[in-house]
Amino acid sequence: MDLRARISAATKQAMKDRDAPRLSTLRLIGAAIKDRDIAARGDGNETGVGDAEVLGILEKMVKQRRESARTYEEGGRLDLAGQEEAEIAVIEEFLPRRLTESEVDAAVDEAVREVGAESIRDMGRVMGVLKSRYAGQMDFGEAGPKVKARLAG
C-alpha cells in the first residue's frame, strides 16, 4: 500500500475511533500533501507528488515539530511541548525505520564507491545517491559531515 493510501486509511480509522488529536495530525499531513500536489500541478506535473516527496514532507513536519517542542520546553510550556511530541509520534508512523550509525556509515561508503568519488567536489553526487536511496531513513544533516570526512580523508 502506498504512503497516501496508508495515511488515508489511518485518517478514516481515527475518525471511527473518535481520536481527535490523532485525526488532527493526520489532517495536517493530508493538507500538506494536497498543498504540494497543487504546487506540482502548477508546475505541469498532473500526477501530483510521489512517495519520495511525501516522505520529504513528513520529514520536514517532524523537524518543524522538534524545533517547536524544544522552544516550548525552553519557555516552560511542557503542555505544548508534549502536544508537539505526540504529533511527531503520529507522523513518524509513516516514515521508514531510521538507519543506525553503522548502517549510515556503510551507506556512505557504498555511495562513495558507486559514484567513484575521490574528492570533496564529488560530495554533491554522493549526497544525491544517498537522498534518492535513503529518503526518510537518514538525517542528511548528519550524513553530510560523514561524507565530507570520508572524501577529505
pLDDT tens digits, residue range 65-98? 999 999 999 999 999 999 999 999 999 999 888 8
Per-residue pLDDT at 122? 86
The class that CATH gives domain 101-152 is: mainly alpha
Return d(Cα 111, Cα 122) in angstroms, integer: 11
In the chain, domain spans: 3-92, 101-152
Give the CATH number of domain 3-92; options: 3.40.50.150, 1.10.1510.10, 2.30.42.10, 3.30.70.920: 1.10.1510.10
Q: Hey, what's the cell of 121?
A: 567536489
11-70 pLDDT, tens digit each: 999 999 999 999 999 999 999 999 998 988 887 777 777 887 888 899 899 989 999 999
Global confidence as pTM: 0.74
Q: How far apart are CA 128 and CA 150, in angstroms?
A: 16
Sorting pLDDT into bands at 50, 70 and 90, what band is 153?
low
**3 confidence band (pLDDT: 50, 70, 90):** confident
